[in-house]
Amino acid sequence: MTDSPLFYQAGPALPEVSHADGVTLWDTAGKAYLDGCSGAIACNLGHGRLDIRSAMLDQLDRVAFTYRTQFESAPALALGRALVALTDRALQKVFFVSSGSEAVESALKLARQYFVATGETQRQRFVSLRPSYHGSTLGALGVTGYRPLEAPFAELTRASLKVPGPDFYRHADRDDGAHVDRVLAETRAAIEAAGPESIIAFVLEPVGGASTGARLLGERYLKGIRALCDEFGCLLILDEVLTGVGRTGAWFAYQHYGVTPDLLATAKGLGAGYYPVGALLARDDIVDEVMASGGFQHGHTYAGNPLACATGLAVIEAIRRERLLENTRARGEQLGAGLRALAERYAWVGQVRGLGLLWGVELVADPATREAFPAEQNRFAQLTALAREEGLLIYPRRTLDGVAGDHVLVTPPLTIRTDEVETLLERLGRAMARFDRALADEATV
């Protein structure tokens, strides 16, 4: 790998992939890996699906690309209608993009343009959580709460007002309800200090993804944020790039909580790794205002092309046909129970949390104080490397801003079977046993 022209992130050389099928990937040396994280929580249907392949080939044979200002296409219209239906028509308009960052970026810009159109131009700032991750483009980075990513670009981004979300693992309040009420009161105070009339929107993931290791925010908190947005006249943007299209066992994670957003960004699982496709969903009165003011001043070349939309449509049809939301809930319970059983063996597992097939395992140096491992020890990477050796891919994240410990995400494809969940847990169990021995060896030298 030393002569590879590719550069992405610092780290050890990577194996070269050969092929994949179902939940398994093989490298060119013949080693098999169970895809315990759907790549980057994207390959939600697993690999090598013939139904998606044939939908894509059919579309390729017709027309692969048209530009959104020249044609509408049957796949774009059908996928748009399907997405609106998945929200039970709570959101009625769709704007296509090709990635999660683009979906978030589009949401931020549509929200701002709405207030320009309605004459509230003093609304210039977003509110978001720390820690959080909303994408790598400069706008999405501005609402992202993760200092190592923000730091080099601090002068170039427009930073949002960052507030903490609830932390049901570490809080010292009387109970969870009291904790949520305190967090909401502090958030209200922060917004009041910044000036509620200056806020465009609150941006957050309804269930934390990579940035918090599947931290659940809960109904009381999400309803509280919805109420704050209504009171202050700002919009609620939900980032469902990772949670959308089935990952949590509902089409969208907000549907677990009875909270409706004004704008919603989704991507990863919509193309399920077969083609990049994402979408911004919005309330029609918001879009109507923007269109009446001259149109949305935004767009990307590949947005809504027929091949992308045919892929997204085939993904949604497969989830429906194979009842994958049900499978996600059932296999999610199995996986969660298995992870909790593994966690009981080791004091360094701080917390196992999740919903559907989105599970996070937080690693701590001291279970009594819930203190995180020192960041420079890179424990998340150590456990992930051991799992890889055992033939299991999991998604690693380091300690975030001292707010959460190292964690790994376990997020297999929504198609995973009972026996495959067992295999996943066996391999993770072996990796955890080796990690535990490595910690013990370090302690004795």
Q: Binding residues for ligand PMP, per CB under 6 A?
A: 99-101, 104, 133-135, 205, 209-210, 239, 241-242, 267
Cα–chain center distance at 305: 23
Residue 291 backbone dihedrals phi, psi, to 5 degrees: -65, -40
- Residue 134 or 398 with smaller CB distance to ligand PMP: 134
- Residue 22 or 299 with smaller CB distance to ligand PMP: 299
Q: Least separation, in Å, of the C-beta of 284 and ligand PMP? A: 24
- Residue 239 or 406 with smaller CB distance to ligand PMP: 239
| Cβ-contact 167, 401 below 8 angstroms | no
- Residue 23 or 267 with smaller CB distance to ligand PMP: 267
Q: Least separation, in Å, of the C-beta of 445 and ligand PMP? A: 37
Return the SS3 of 44.
Answer: coil
> Could you tell me whether strands 32-35 and 24-27 are parallel, antiparallel, or unpaired per DSSP bridges?
antiparallel
| Dist CA 359 CA 331 (whole Å) | 11
- Residue 101 or 399 with smaller CB distance to ligand PMP: 101
Q: Least separation, in Å, of the C-beta of 309 and ligand PMP? A: 17
R_g of the chain, CA atoms, integer Å: 22
- Residue 83 or 386 with smaller CB distance to ligand PMP: 83
Q: Least separation, in Å, of the C-beta of 140 and ligand PMP? A: 6
Q: Least separation, in Å, of the C-beta of 409 and ligand PMP? A: 10
Distances (CA, A) of 312 to 279, 411, 437: 10, 20, 44
| Dist CA 271 CA 279 (whole Å) | 10
Q: Least separation, in Å, of the C-beta of 133 and ligand PMP? A: 5
Sort 25 into a burial class: Cβ within 10 Å, 0-12 / 13-18 / 19+: buried
Query: What angle, 0 to 180 degrees and rounded to 10, lies between the N-to-C axes of helices 306-321 and 50-62?
Result: 150
Q: Least separation, in Å, of the C-beta of 362 and ligand PMP? A: 17
Tracing tokens 């044939």 back to the chain, one arrives at 54
Cis upstream peptide for 131 (omega within 30°): yes
- Residue 205 or 406 with smaller CB distance to ligand PMP: 205
Q: Least separation, in Å, of the C-beta of 176 and ligand PMP? A: 24
Q: Least separation, in Å, of the C-beta of 136 and ligand PMP? A: 6
Distances (CA, A) of 345 to 221, 387, 417, 418: 32, 17, 25, 22
- Residue 138 or 291 with smaller CB distance to ligand PMP: 138
Closest residue to ligand PMP: CB criterion? 100
Return the SS3 of 239.
Answer: strand
User: 88-99: string of b/e by CB count within 10 Å (b at 16+)?
Assistant: eebbbbbbbbbb
Q: Least separation, in Å, of the C-beta of 135 and ligand PMP? A: 4
Sort 109 into a burial class: Cβ within 10 Å, 0-12 / 13-18 / 19+: middle
- Residue 222 or 267 with smaller CB distance to ligand PMP: 267
- Residue 267 or 355 with smaller CB distance to ligand PMP: 267
Dihedral angle, C-alpha 427, 393, 205, 156, nearest 10 °: 150
Helix (H) or strand (E) holding 327: helix 324-345
| Dist CA 251 CA 86 (whole Å) | 6
- Residue 176 or 401 with smaller CB distance to ligand PMP: 401
Q: Least separation, in Å, of the C-beta of 98 and ligand PMP? A: 8
Q: Give bridge partners of residue 289 from the DSSP assignment.
A: none
